[in-house]
Structure 1
Amino acid sequence: MTAHSETAAGTHATDWRAWQDSWDRQQEWYMPDREERFRVMLDMVEACVGRAPRVLDLACGTGSITARLLARFPDATSVGVDLDPALLAIARGTFEGDARVAFVTADLKDPQWTRTLPHDSYDAVLTATALHWLHSAPLGTLYGQLAGLVRDGGVFMNADHMIDQTTPRINAAERALRHARMDSAKTGGAVDWAAWWALAAQDPVLAGPTAERFAIYGEHADGDTPSATWHAEALRGAGFGEARVVWGSPSDAMVLALK
């Protein structure tokens, strides 16, 4: 992937859009239905809080949700929060100069992380395929914090790996088919997580942030991926009035909680 070019001054100009696109392709290797979950997420934003929401893009990564939010709702605003310096570099580069977007560096496991945000309340807090690295106890704590950030009538949505452990044979069959398709796509040239980060480490602009990223996280961390039922119950217990699944695939689900 060519994501930078040499300028006349001899410095590297990074093509942030190329990095955004390559991140999308890498994520789609794992989740072919990724755009479908984003579409339903934004449908429910429109249904619940309208077309000009103030959004918190939680564990925002490169700003995938923010990009789709603003493309669909030009009057929306978004605050992205993450700890990953490499993905935040891509996000900040992509949205540089867009007054509708701001990014904050914060650790969601820090009890004081909400103090870093520019607003006290949000119409919608959105996250996708990001919180599965948290175990149930800290995730429950985070849900309590989010209940304090979402305004009355606002929404929180989490689209992520939510495993129903009561159906092991179904889970195994789905996983086998999914991984067979992933292997086929990789043979055809698809870039996986490890290969994508190897490319980032070779980029003159992203090499430093990528090294910082691995110092923070290591290779990859996964939590205990509780079921969608657990998420809905935890969100109601945290102070949301209603919570249920609004989208699902054989391996993933999206839970919406209404304040």
Structure 2
Amino acid sequence: MTSATTGTNGITGATATTGHGDDWRAWQDSWDRQQEWYLPDREERFRVMIDLVEAVAGPEPVVLDLACGTGSITDRLLRRLPGARSVGVDLDPALLTIARGTFAGDDRAEFVTADLRDDDWTRKLPRRDFDAVLTTTALHWMDTGALNGLYRTVASLVRPGGLFMNADHMPQEGTPLIDAAERALRLRRQEEQKAAGTPDWRAWWELAGRDPVLADAVTRRSEIFGDHSDGDFQPQEWHARTLREAGFREARTVWCSVPDAMVAALR
């Protein structure tokens, strides 16, 4: 029998051994904490992203949440812009289970299982014209050739005058001392978070795999992806240039931290 006492990270003691059950909001919150382990400015990039969506597409955009995971972008979008609608697409069965559970009964959000590496993945979408396509910290696992092709496909999904934004790891060359200083600070803060009970990537997935409501989906995920690995990392300039070559009229960096950046492209 597990205890229900609250730990230092705000998660009940029961989660230390059994996870969150079908409390989907608790799963969303724990995913956010785990992601913030690596991305302390995660909420800031969401804010900038949705500000620009509203600026370009107004208060009721139709959005494709690309490689949506648990629906983190959809969550922020619908809270900020209640008149928006979102279609989330991903291949991960565990994260999609959390997304579908979180938004069950909300007809503004729907989720599609599809592999972005398949040539025909767009056929699974309920529509092919979006005011905005948004993604964050997800596409770095694709190699350069696959991402180049994906950008061309995305251009066909964004309506004229619509927007695409990708926030991800986009390292820049020429500042090794700045990069090292930022990384050292980030690692120190991660150690502090670990001491406070925040799970890292591996610990979070171990927790999910032990929970009966997610165990089967986590097993299927492991069969699909194997060990998590990253693809190629390209600088901001590459993303902007490749998006223009894919058919977008304008593309540039609209937000950045030391290791990450967000590139926006107007169709």
CA gap of 1:221–1:13, structure 2 versus 1, over 3 A, is closer
Q: Which amino acid aligns with 2:23?
A: D
Q: Does 1:143 align with 2:151?
A: yes
TM-score, normalisation: structure 1: 0.94
Q: What's 1:70 paired with? A: 78
Q: Does 1:172 align with 2:180?
A: yes
Hey, what's the Cα distance between the residues in 2 that align with 1:77 and 1:198? Answer: 33
Q: Secondary structure at the match of 1:99?
A: coil
Q: What's 1:6 paired with? A: none
Q: Which amino acid aligns with 2:64?
A: L
Q: Secondary structure at the match of 1:219?
A: coil
Q: What's 2:123 paired with? A: 115
Q: 2:63 aligns with which of 55, 65, 68?
A: 55
After the TM superposition, list the runs of 4 or more consecutive aligned residues in structure 1 that deviate by more than 6 angstroms. Answer: none
Q: Is the 8 A contact 2:21 2:211 kept in 1?
A: no
Q: What's 1:106 paired with? A: 114
Q: Shift of the alpha carbon at 1:167?
A: 2.8
Q: Shift of the alpha carbon at 1:52?
A: 0.3
Q: 1:201 aligns with which of 195, 201, 209?
A: 209
Q: Shift of the alpha carbon at 1:136?
A: 1.1
Q: What's 2:136 paired with? A: 128
Q: Which amino acid aligns with 1:240?
A: F
Q: What's 2:7 paired with? A: none
Q: Per-residue CA shift, 1:68-104, capped at 9, x if unaligned?
A: 1000111110000000000000000000111111100
Q: Which moved more, 1:171-180 or 1:214-223?
A: 171-180
Q: Shift of the alpha carbon at 1:235?
A: 0.3
Q: What's 1:97 paired with? A: 105
Q: 2:45 aligns with which of 37, 40, 50?
A: 37
Number of paired residues?
252
Q: 2:242 aligns with which of 210, 221, 234?
A: 234
Q: 2:160 aligns with which of 152, 156, 172?
A: 152
Q: What's 2:231 paired with? A: 223
Q: Which amino acid aligns with 1:56?
A: L
Q: Shift of the alpha carbon at 1:224?
A: 1.5
Hey, what's the Cα distance between the residues in 2 that align with 1:119 and 1:237? Answer: 24
Q: Per-residue CA shift, 1:88-138, capped at 9, x if unaligned?
A: 000000001111111000000001111110001100000011111111110
Q: Per-residue CA shift, 1:128-169, capped at 9, x if unaligned?
A: 111111111100100000000000000000011111133333
Q: What's 1:8 paired with? A: none
Q: Is the 8 A contact 2:167 2:262 kept in 1?
A: yes
Q: Shift of the alpha carbon at 1:215?
A: 1.2
Hey, what's the Cα distance between the residues in 1 that align with 2:212 and 2:113? Answer: 22
Q: Secondary structure at the match of 1:253?
A: strand
Q: Secondary structure at the match of 1:14?
A: coil
Q: Is the 8 A contact 2:21 2:212 kept in 1?
A: no
Q: Per-residue CA shift, 1:30-83, capped at 9, x if unaligned?
A: 111100000000000011111100000000000000011000111110000000
Q: Secondary structure at the match of 1:221?
A: coil
User: Percentage identity across aligned positions?
Assistant: 64
Q: Shift of the alpha carbon at 1:216?
A: 1.0
Q: 1:24 aligns with which of 29, 32, 53?
A: 32
Q: Shift of the alpha carbon at 1:13?
A: 5.8
Q: What's 2:170 paired with? A: 162
Hey, what's the Cα distance between the residues in 2 that align with 1:190 and 1:67? Answer: 21
Q: 1:254 aligns with which of 243, 252, 262?
A: 262
